[in-house]
Amino acid sequence: MHFDFDTVPSRLGTDSQKWQKYANRDVLPLWVADMDFRSPPAIIDALQRRVADGIFGYARPVKSTVDAAVNALASRYGWSIDPTWIVWLPGLVCGLNVTAQAFAAPGEEVLCLTPVYPPFITAPKNSGRVSVTVPFILNSTAARWEIDWDALERAVTPRTKLFFLCNPHNPIARVFRRDELVRIADFCARHDLLLCSDEIHCDLILDSALPHLPTAMVAPDHAARTITLMAPSKTYNVPGLGTSFAIIPDSALRARFVRATAGIVAEVTCLGFTACEAAYRDSEPWRQALLATLRSNRDHLFATLEKSLPGVRIEAPIEATYLAWLNVADLGLADPIGHFESHGVGLSDGAFFGAPRSDYVRLNFGCPRATLDEALRRMAAAVAAIPGRA
């Protein structure tokens, strides 16, 4: 079965947040984690059938929707979950905020590792909780970002209540190994911390030798203190349909989580449930074709950086996601984002992820090769325009 990942879609002048950012400017947007690929045909067909019904009232998931998600977790990861563990949400960021409010009081602390997806840092602050960050360390010999376990231990205080984990990790594109996940779970148990594991990129593993391991499954003795957040949005390019879910095995924690959503968290829409079911049940061939495309784009990105962009480097393998964490410190730019934008490429600012502003940017390579090639051509021109690098 053939799927089209080559056609460049026209998103200018649409409701696309990604493309609206640079409206009326010749800037290719490679920033937010939203792919420039059409969603799987199975999802589009399912949505068209649902729209044809013509009634869009308040929705609840039907059994087939729940079964699709449960069966996907079982078949892909060997993780058998009880359907009652699922709490449906209109977005994963919402889940991070609800978790902070449900399990930490104002003034109490939520711990996470940086660089990291910005809502990990901002979600606790939104409701008066305290965000505490511990930087990853780069093992240059192993070419791998690693947890600074000593710093993590030092960061814990009597006010620390939660640990936010991102696995696979955004933006450093790491897949955590079994021994690391077990050690994280043990760390949380020893300090009486609840573990919130964001696994939204779990279906986007690019290194076939590295299976995704759900944290709650790897450390079953600690599953009762674990909240797992998942969604079809990143993998199947349906973030605008606002459908995600929390998996909370412990009934008491689940009840606290649900209470924290009362009156402030919107319900998932009927179209969101439709897309979710079609994603998990009917779109596996498309996902495999997507992974092949992303692997090819990743390898092409590495080769092009080495050949044409001196001073821009990726310091560790991209094991998952469609996101590249680029070290641009050697360029000596005070404002890397502004410089690349002035040459027609829009990237994400590393400062939002907790990195020094002038050192890192994030690039989204979830796009047709023609778009990626043009962006890399413009980036090469941007590097060549820096005084002393022509």
Joined together, the tokens standing for residue 203 give: 């279906």
Residue 312 sits in a domain of what CATH number?
A: 3.90.1150.10
Domain stops at, among 228, 260, 282? 282
Exposure b/e, 215-253, CB count within 10 A at least 16 = b: bbbbbeebbebbbbbbbbbbbbbbbebbbbbbbbbbeeb
Q: Which amino acid is at 357?
A: R
Please give the pLDDT value at position 34. Answer: 96
Question: Do 75 and 217 have their domain in common?
Answer: yes
Joined together, the tokens standing for residue 43 give: 């999802």
Please give the pLDDT value at position 219. Answer: 86
- How is 194-209 classified by DSSP, letter by letter? EEEEE-TTTT-B--TT
Domain stops at, among 282, 303, 329? 282
Please give the pLDDT value at position 383. Answer: 97
Q: 345-386: per-residue pLDDT in tens?
A: 999 999 999 998 789 999 999 999 999 999 999 999 999 999
When pLDDT is cut at 50, 70 and 90, the band that residue 172 belongs to is very high
Q: 67-96: per-residue pLDDT in tens?
A: 999 999 999 999 999 999 999 999 999 999
The predicted model gives 55-74 an average pLDDT of: 98
Question: Do 22 and 102 have their domain in common?
Answer: no
Residue 213 sits in a domain of what CATH number?
A: 3.40.640.10
Joined together, the tokens standing for residue 33 give: 């984690």
DSSP 8-state secondary structure symbol assigned to residue 127: T
Question: Do 306 and 180 have their domain in common?
Answer: no
Percent with pLDDT over 90 in the chain: 95
Question: Do 135 and 253 have their domain in common?
Answer: yes
When pLDDT is cut at 50, 70 and 90, the band that residue 388 belongs to is confident
Question: Do 349 and 366 have their domain in common?
Answer: yes
Please give the pLDDT value at position 357. Answer: 74
Please give the pLDDT value at position 390. Answer: 57
Domain count, the chain: 2
Question: Do 63 and 198 have their domain in common?
Answer: yes
Please give the pLDDT value at position 358. Answer: 81
The predicted model gives 30-42 an average pLDDT of: 97
Q: Which amino acid is at 236?
A: Y
* pLDDT over threshold 80, residue 50: yes
Q: How many other C-beta atoms lie within 10 A of the C-beta of residue 24?
A: 6
Domain stops at, among 282, 297, 332? 282
DSSP 8-state secondary structure symbol assigned to residue 320: B
Question: Do 253 and 316 have their domain in common?
Answer: no
Q: How many other C-beta atoms lie within 10 A of the C-beta of residue 80?
A: 9
* pLDDT over threshold 90, residue 1: no
Helix axes 41-53 and 270-282, enclosed angle (nearest 10): 150
Question: Do 307 and 178 have their domain in common?
Answer: no
Helix (H, G, I), strand (E, B), or coil: what is residue 179?
A: helix
Residues spanned by the domain of 329: 17-40+284-384
Question: Do 123 and 87 have their domain in common?
Answer: yes
Question: Do 65 and 186 have their domain in common?
Answer: yes
Chain position carrying tokens 């412990």: 250
The predicted model gives 196-212 an average pLDDT of: 97
Please give the pLDDT value at position 276. Answer: 98
